[in-house]
Structures are given as C-alpha cells and as structure tokens.
Amino acid sequence: METKSLLHCAYVASLVVFLVLGIQDSVQGRLLSVSKPDPKSAAAFARWLVSQNYWGVLNTISSDLGGAPFGNVVSFSDGLPDKGSGIPYFYLTTLDPTARNALKDHRSSLTISEYPIGTCGTRDPENPACAKITLTGKLVLVDNNSKEAEFAQSALFTKHPEMKEWPEDHNFQFFKLETKDIFLINWFGGPKPLTVDQYLHPEM
Amino acid sequence: METKSLLHCAYVASLVVFLVLGIQDSVQGRLLSVSKPDPKSAAAFARWLVSQNYWGVLNTISSDLGGAPFGNVVSFSDGLPDKGSGIPYFYLTTLDPTARNALKDHRSSLTISEYPIGTCGTRDPENPACAKITLTGKLVLVDNNSKEAEFAQSALFTKHPEMKEWPEDHNFQFFKLETKDIFLINWFGGPKPLTVDQYLHPEM
C-alpha cells in the first residue's frame, strides 16, 4: 500500500478502537473527568475514590445469620458527578436484607475498590497501590420530606438513571451512611491516617 | 483505495482491536471460557460467578470499631481457572485488620458481583439481573503443612501471579471461607433458594 493508504488505514483503525472503547465504557465504567490525586493527599484521594466509583459492598449485621457481617452489592452516589459530598447515599428496599438489618442495627460499612474504575494498571485488586476504602458508621434512613432526600434523589438518579424506573410497590427509600471511621489504603505502608473531618472538608 | 487495500486495512483494524481488548482484558478482567449458566440453575450459576470473578469484599466483625461489620477488598480463588471448588481461598496478612478480626471472631462473609466480569450488559450493579452472591460462614486459617494449603497456593497464585512476589516479612497465610449460608440474586423475584450442599455438588 502507498503511504496515503497506510495513513488512512491507521485513521480507520484508531476510529474503530475509539468506538469499541466508547461502547465498553458506557457499559462497564464512566469516563474520568477528574484526574487521580497524589496518594499522599489522603483526603483528596478518598473523596476522588468515593465520587468516581458508583457501586460497592454495603455491610450490615445480620441477626438472621447469628450476627454475621453481611455484605451486599449496592449502587451509591455521594452527589452529582464531580460534585461529591463525601456522604454516600443509597436507594434500598426492605425486601432486601440490608435495609432490614440496618433498621434493627445501624452499624454498617461501605467498601469501595479503585479496581473497577480502571486506574490500577496491571496491579492485582489486593495490591495496596490499587486503592480501597472502607467507611464505617451508621446506615440510616433519610427523611423523605427533607431537602436531603431531594439531594439524595438527584445524586442517585443522575449516576444510576434506571433507578427512576424501579418498581414503586417495592418501596425503595433513601439511606445514607454517617461515617465515623475511615480505612484507606492507597499505597504501600499501611492505612493512611484520615479523620472524618479531614475527609468531609478536604483541601483540594 | 482498491478492494485489496481495504481488506488489508480491515484486517489491520481488527488486529488492533484484538490487541487493545487483549491488553485491557489482562488488566481489568479475564476471558470467559465458560458461558454464563441459565439464572434458573442456581447452583451452576453460583459456581460460575465464584469461579469467574477473582476479587470481592471479605467481611469480618471489627472489635476495634465497636463490633461493626468491616468489609475489605480482597483477591480470592476457588481453584484453577474453570476448575473451581466453590470454596474461596485468600492470601492474607495480620498486618491487615481482616485477618486479625477473623482470628478473634470467625464470623465472616464474602460478597461478589457479576458487574466487573462484564456480563451485565447495560444493567446497573444493583439491578437484580446483574448477579451478586454473598457466602456467609467462618473465615479460618488453612494449615500451612496440608495438601489443602498446596491447593490454595496453586489456586491463588495461578489467578493472582503477583502474589508470588509479595513480601515474605508480611507473613501472608492462606485462609478459606467455610460457607454455611448462600445469598444469591441473579434475576428478579428475590434470592434463589440454594443450599450449601447443592452449591458444593451442582449438577453441571
């Protein structure tokens, strides 16, 4: 082939790659519009991780299972994209054990991995340089007639559009995690010291 | 361009796509060599989910955090690829709270999502048709001089090659979850009834 054809060919190939990646992204992930902070900036990094991921595992105490810790895959949102509050909101129904458990015993944690965001490179999900965060605290119902419920709805429905269509007779309600302790691993050397106050008011 | 050039170009483009997907796959997921079972076949489906995913959230009771349920991102393996045993094995160090918690209180659960496998289509991670499983039971140490430790090592190091290089002075040890209860959601209509015996001996 001549040079012009080769160039055209490279252009077509890159277009195809772009399209394939675009379709993949719409299914498995979201485009990152904010770049990953330096791991040394614990608060900024934690806020980035919570705002960029949109699902995790929500843990409660299961009285049905002898007080065992019971993890459940959930979607969450801490605010509009790139306008996160650091407070994770959920849309749960008491048809599911997690909401039932929380109404009996508020103790809870939310665990989020950097891995599905796609920024861990070739690192294993358990490698400390592939970040993970666990927010521990109380899982509580948000008053349905409050400004906070409006915020939760907007935060959740923007990141999880199909929630708008979930069946009304399932009585989904907004919950939030009131964080009391933060466990953040985002590099070698053990958990990063990070208070809830630093997390909620990070110097960006 | 003439037809031959066009064909060559299409070939180059498909090669590039294949390479890009291949590289992505080695980072974010693994090729599925076993197809997803019918959601109605609860045991086969549960075994597929546990053998095809390779990371999840392992939950323990944290006495340091007032008995709160504490989730932690971990890598696991239930056996060589496509030869899963259904029993999840882990490689943990007591430098991390999860192993410390388990040695004080065995109650534990492992939560795994279908979402990162990439077979949920455009469904939200909390959509019941995007499967999730929680195995609840006891998190126990595997005797280091047993055949089972050899199996655990082979199962883990095959799916997580970098584990071989993890620092010796961290004293990583093999743990396993002895499952007592299974919570599987893989379609609409609530959790699928599934006993541990059915899970361990599925009709494939």
Beta bridge partners of A133: A112, A184
A163 touches chain B (CB under 8 A): yes
Residues of chain B with Cβ-Cβ distance to A8 below 8 Å are: 1, 9
Q: Is the pLDDT of residue B26 over 60?
A: no
Residue A183: per-residue pLDDT: 98
Interface with chain A: mutation pick from B72, B117, B122, highest number of A CBs within 10 Å = B72
Q: Is the pLDDT of residue A4 over 60?
A: no
Rounded (to 5) percent helix, strand, coil in chain B: 40, 30, 35
Residue whose token pair is 């997803």: B36
Please judge whether A28 and B111 are an interchain contact, meaning their C-beta atoms are less than 8 angstroms apart. Answer: no
Helix (H) or strand (E) holding A180: strand A173-185
**Residues 166-185 in B contacting A (C-alpha not used; CB under 8 Å):** 180-181, 183
Closest to B107 in 3D by CA, of B157, B180, B49, B168: B180
Query: A52 to each of A26, A57, A129, B163, B192, how far by Cα in Å?
Result: 14, 15, 17, 27, 32
Residues of chain A with Cβ-Cβ distance to B116 below 8 Å are: 28, 115-116
Mean per-residue pLDDT for B3-13?
50
B70 touches chain A (CB under 8 A): yes
pLDDT digit string, tens, across residues B77-124: 999 988 999 999 999 999 999 999 999 999 999 999 999 999 999 999
Closest to A79 in 3D by CA, of A143, A11, A13, A160: A160
Residues above pLDDT 70, as percent of chain A: 83
Residues above pLDDT 90, as percent of chain A: 81
Residue whose token pair is 């935060």: A155
Other Cβ atoms less than 10 A from the Cβ of A91: the count is 23
Rounded CA separation B83/A94 (Å): 37
Rounded CA separation B16/B3 (Å): 20
Select the highest-mean-pLDDT range: A25-39, B23-37, B70-84: B70-84
Mention every residue, 6+ apart, whose C-beta is less than 8 A from residue B196. Answer: B179, B180, B181, B182
Chosen CATH of B34-200 out of 1.10.645.10, 3.40.50.2000, 3.10.580.10, 2.30.110.10: 2.30.110.10
Spatial contact of B124 and B203, defined as CB atoms under 8 Å apart: no
Q: Is the pLDDT of residue B3 over 90?
A: no
Nearest to A55 among B27, B65, B115 (CB): B115
Q: Is the pLDDT of residue B13 over 70?
A: no
Q: Is the pLDDT of residue A121 over 50?
A: yes
Spatial contact of B69 and A102, defined as CB atoms under 8 Å apart: no
Residue A1: per-residue pLDDT: 43
Interface with chain B: mutation pick from A6, A61, A72, highest number of B CBs within 10 Å = A72
Give the torsion through C-alpha atoms of A123, A127, A128, A129, to 10 deg: -10
More confident residue, B16 or A187: A187
pLDDT digit string, tens, across residues A154-181: 999 999 999 999 999 999 999 999 999 9
Q: Is the pLDDT of residue A202 over 70?
A: yes
Continuous H helices in chain B: 3-28, 42-52, 97-104, 147-159, 196-200
Phi, psi values for residue A86, rounded to 5°: 85, -10
Give the gap in angstroms from C-alpha A55 to the nearest C-alpha of chain B: 7
Phi, psi values for residue A139, rounded to 5°: -95, 115
Rounded CA separation B107/B156 (Å): 22
Other Cβ atoms less than 10 A from the Cβ of A153: the count is 18
A98 touches chain B (CB under 8 A): no
Tokens linked to A184: 């953040």
Query: Minimal Cα distance from B11: which residue of A?
Result: A13
**What's the whole-number average pLDDT of chain A?**
88
- Predicted confidence band at B5 (pLDDT cuts at 50, 70, 90)? low
Q: Is the pLDDT of residue A152 over 80?
A: yes
**What's the whole-number average pLDDT of chain B?**
89
Nearest to B8 among A1, A16, A20 (CB): A1
Phi, psi values for residue A34, rounded to 5°: -115, 130
Residues of chain B with Cβ-Cβ distance to A72 below 8 Å are: 111, 132, 134, 183
Q: Is the pLDDT of residue A22 over 90?
A: no
- Predicted confidence band at B27 (pLDDT cuts at 50, 70, 90)? very low
Q: Is the pLDDT of residue A14 over 80?
A: no
Residues of chain B with Cβ-Cβ distance to A74 below 8 Å are: 125-126
Rg for chain A (alpha carbons), in Å?
Answer: 20
Spatial contact of B174 and B142, defined as CB atoms under 8 Å apart: yes
- Predicted confidence band at A12 (pLDDT cuts at 50, 70, 90)? very low
pLDDT digit string, tens, across residues A50-83: 999 999 999 999 999 999 999 999 999 999 988 9
Give the gap in angstroms from C-alpha A89 to the nearest C-alpha of chain B: 13
Which ipTM score applies to this complex?
0.85
Spatial contact of A111 and A133, defined as CB atoms under 8 Å apart: yes
B23 touches chain A (CB under 8 A): no
More confident residue, A14 or A142: A142
Give the gap in angstroms from C-alpha A82 to the nearest C-alpha of chain B: 20
Closest to A46 in 3D by CA, of A181, A189, A188: A181
Q: Is the pLDDT of residue A30 over 50?
A: no
A36 burial level (CB within 10 Å; 0-12, 13-18, 19+): middle
* Domain residue ranges of chain A, discontinuous segments joined by +: 1-31, 34-200
Phi, psi values for residue B29, rounded to 5°: -165, 175
pLDDT digit string, tens, across residues B132-182: 999 999 999 999 999 999 999 999 999 999 999 999 999 999 999 999 999
Residue B156: per-residue pLDDT: 98
Give the gap in angstroms from C-alpha A111 to the nearest C-alpha of chain B: 6
